[in-house]
Chains A and B, each alone.
Chain A
Amino acid sequence: MQLAMQNVSKRYGGGNWALRDFTLNLGPGVLGLLGPNGAGKTTLMSILATITRATEGNVLWNGVDVAVSPDQLRATLGYLPQDFGVYPNLNAMEFLQYLSAVKGLDAAASRRRIDELLNLVNLTDVRKRPLGGFSGGMKQRVGIAQALLNDPQLLIVDEPTAGLDPEERVRFRNLLSELSGERIVILSTHIVSDVEATATDIALISQGTLVAHASPEELLRQVEGKVWEWILPSADLNSARQRYLISNTARRSDGVHARVLADAPPASAAAVTPNLEDAYLYCLSQHRSAAATPVAAEVLA
């Protein structure tokens, strides 16, 4: 089981490149696709889900070009789009039955699976209520259930925890971890804690390009010795922000405790253990400075 993205680029009308030369090979496991808003995550998800076509490059599913044989991927794809709707007059069971018919699944087997999925996402008690009356979180759970209908080998979930409350988020993360096994799960999000809890691999994407692809441990190693806790007076915080990358602040009685990402520590700052959010911010800032440098040089010239 392998999903390969080879130099995938996507240009929208007006010449906007949402993705540039994106290359990544994936095997079974959970890939956390992290990036800021507008980084190109949803575009990449749409290409992988065969919703949109790459302008350049190829996506290969088990060695077969998706552009040539999209149904080979679709047959084994579970997709939860970022923005999706439901038919308000159908109930959860009917909606899943409808989608199982659309996906061409065996009727008897899908009936059993729908019951299990509704149980899994804890919607059994409300399975006969029209979806129009569901809250955002409940609809999201219906979306999760439909993505798992066909027992997918490739599960793509785009911002799946949007609209879920903290308890639901934790449970969804657990579900993803349990589901991973012998399948490829791509979890696109900008919520670092979701990825931290579930991902076996992380791909950082920014401005349409792949910034880093590594395990969480490798990413964390990159920022080891570069994260500091600095206690400073409140009045100095703004000037500190201009000089350093600060990932977090907390006001205490002795001043502001700032979490600083820097190669060299500010005076009197103490080293702390990095977390994934630090690694994410550090990698992005490095990428942005690298991208800005040639432009700056050009302007100066």
Chain B
Amino acid sequence: MNSAHVLYHMVRADFLERVRRYSFLVTLAGALLIAYGVAAEKIWIVVGNGYRGVYNSAWIGVLMAVCCSTFLSLAGFYIVKNSVQRDVDTRVGQVLAATAMRKDFYAVAKTLSNFAVLACMVVILMLAAVVMQLMQAESHSFSLWHLWAPFIFLSMPTMLLTASLALLFEMLPGLRGGFGNVVYFFLWTAGIGLGAAGTDDPSGMQLLYRSSRETLQAIDPTSPQNFHFSLTIGGEQAVRTFVWEGIHWTGSVLLMRLLWISVAFLIALATSLFFHRFDPARSWRRKSPASGKTSNGTSVATTPVPSAVSASAIHLTPMPSRDAGSPFGRLVVSELKLMLKGLRWWWYTGAVGILIGELVSPTPIARSGFLVAAWIWPLLLWSQMGCREARHATTGLLYSSERSITRQFPAVWTAGFLVALLTGSGFALRLLLSSDLHGFAAWLAGAAFIPSLALALGVWSGSSRAFEALYTVWWYMGPAHQMPGLDFMGITPASSSPAGYAIAAGALLAISYWGRRSRMAYV
């Protein structure tokens, strides 16, 4: 069997496995929602002095391709960043490792299968773009080349780069988990910023920037002096239109796009250097020298294993009747212990440092600096909520326990709420001392909102990634940049909406309960 045949089957199997997953459909729905946003004129690219392009094939194509590149390079990363882990979980990896497959071959195959998933979404959006132009009917000139070229030359290389980065992050031990998910978000933000700052960027936004600037210069000579470029959702609206004929796909432009494709393959090949070939010993050493736990969930016994059940006569203390029930507090403490267990000293040091900062720093810094930091610090604790049972396969043990949904489930939320209260308590104390009740209400609503969001996303997605990705974006746009409506911490009175977030917390909790309830045979 030749290499191309093996590669085809590896990519195909991976692709089919993933496009049949719920998360693929959710992301696709998100991408189509963005396409709809473009069609319904909710999403704009505004250039120059309030210009937008006439909705011809070129403008629609580039607008959708840029939206697609920006959205899918973020959401898509979290969708595909599990291809190696799945091979570990399913033990297929060990089967592959026992074949003659080379490490670089595996890395390229995984990159291509990641790309296939993302490219599939791009293709669907390409078809949506055709429908969109027919719906808009602003320009009757229809050119499939102008409509689709931006997808092919802008979105596809971006997807390939996203695919290779997802693999790289999965292979690097420090970036494999939730921390890597957060790091990628900031990397993505930097990448978007690169395009907006006028540098050649992976998404190709800079090409649109340059091309539209040149066109506008001919139409409106005053425009380039204060030229600006923004991709807005429901924000600034264009008041004027101009006819834009698309990016000229010159040799140098295509070479630049080819460069990004090469970067993606170089990353894929570099990734193979970190590929442990499913060797439990190697991944174990990297992960946790003390525990002896391997990456595939199997174990390495580090001390002599005691023999099993003793043959002596059994004496077990009879358990008392449980009519009185066990205090809820004990279960909350147990959940809290479970949440905090395994954290290293530096995490506690950081949390205490932030707490002190909340208490002693000047109010503006405490508010927009330390409180904002306090509620991103436990991100990886909250992201386990609602999905820990599925991740560690303990659902059978928990769901067969008495009153699991009325005791254990609220205890999980309470533990998450307590983490928010504790980490943000320094600032809350200052709010109370200064009698800022509105601020305190916003703080409390925020503290309730975070675990509710974590629980809802954990229960419904069955994974920590959805919360890690969404919360980081939300935190960055809302509290960190005080975007009205998204500031769940109430960093400024103008951006805070405590009642809205209290209601949202309740609604998310109800959604979580419904999700958990639907997975149980009986309440």
List the interface of chain A (C-beta within 8 A of B).
46-47, 49-53, 66-67, 70-71, 74-75, 77, 79, 81, 83-90, 94, 97-99, 101-107, 109-110, 112-113, 116-117, 119-126, 129-130, 132-139, 141, 144, 146, 148-151, 164, 167-168, 171-172, 174-175, 178-179
Q: Which 10 A-B pairs have the closest CB atoms?
A: A85-B393, A132-B293, A133-B292, A89-B342, A81-B396, A168-B308, A70-B522, A171-B309, A104-B326, A53-B521
Which residue in chain A gives the minimum CB-CB distance to B398? A102
Interface magnitude class on chain B: 35 or more
Is A105 a contact partner of B291 (Cβ separation < 8 A)? no
A132 is contacted by which of B299, B307, B331, B396 (Cβ under 8 Å)? B299
Among B372-430, those with CB < 8 Å from A are 388, 392-404, 407-408
Contact with A along B309-327 (1 / 0, CB 8 A): 1110111111110100110
A116 is contacted by which of B299, B301, B317 (Cβ under 8 Å)? B317
10 A–B contacts from the bound complex (CB under 8 Å): A50-B399, A84-B393, A102-B398, A103-B402, A104-B325, A104-B331, A105-B322, A130-B288, A132-B291, A132-B299
Is A123 a contact partner of B306 (Cβ separation < 8 A)? yes
Is B522 a contact partner of A66 (Cβ separation < 8 A)? yes
B345 to A: closest C-beta gap in Å? 15
B396 is contacted by which of A49, A71, A106 (Cβ under 8 Å)? A49
Known A74-B401, A120-B316, A125-B306; further 13 A-B contacts with Cβ < 8 A: A49-B400, A71-B402, A79-B400, A85-B392, A102-B331, A102-B398, A123-B306, A133-B291, A134-B299, A135-B305, A138-B301, A139-B299, A151-B319
Residues of B within 8 Å of A119, CB to CB, are 310
Binds A, one of B49-57, B333-341, B482-490: B333-341
A107 is contacted by which of B301, B318, B326, B408 (Cβ under 8 Å)? B326
Residues of B within 8 Å of A175, CB to CB, are 309, 314
Is B288 a contact partner of A132 (Cβ separation < 8 A)? yes
The answer, yes or no, to whether B330 is at the interface (CB within 8 Å) is yes
Residues of A within 8 Å of B404, CB to CB, are 74, 102
B32 to A: closest C-beta gap in Å? 26
Known: A71-B402, A101-B331, A104-B402. A113 touches B307 (CB 8 A): no
Which residue in chain A gives the minimum CB-CB distance to B325? A104
The answer, yes or no, to whether B302 is at the interface (CB within 8 Å) is yes
A65 to B: closest C-beta gap in Å? 11
Known: A150-B319, A151-B318. A122 touches B398 (CB 8 A): no
Residues of A within 8 Å of B292, CB to CB, are 130, 132-133
Is A71 a contact partner of B394 (Cβ separation < 8 A)? no
Known: A50-B399, A174-B309. A106 touches B288 (CB 8 A): no
Residues of A within 8 Å of B393, CB to CB, are 83-85
Query: Which of B315, B334, B523 has the most CB atoms of chain A within a 10 A radius of its CB?
Result: B334
Is B397 a contact partner of A113 (Cβ separation < 8 A)? no
The answer, yes or no, to whether B241 is at the interface (CB within 8 Å) is no
How long is the Cα–Cα vector from A164 to B311 in the complex, in angstroms? 16
Which residue in chain A gives the minimum CB-CB distance to B408? A102
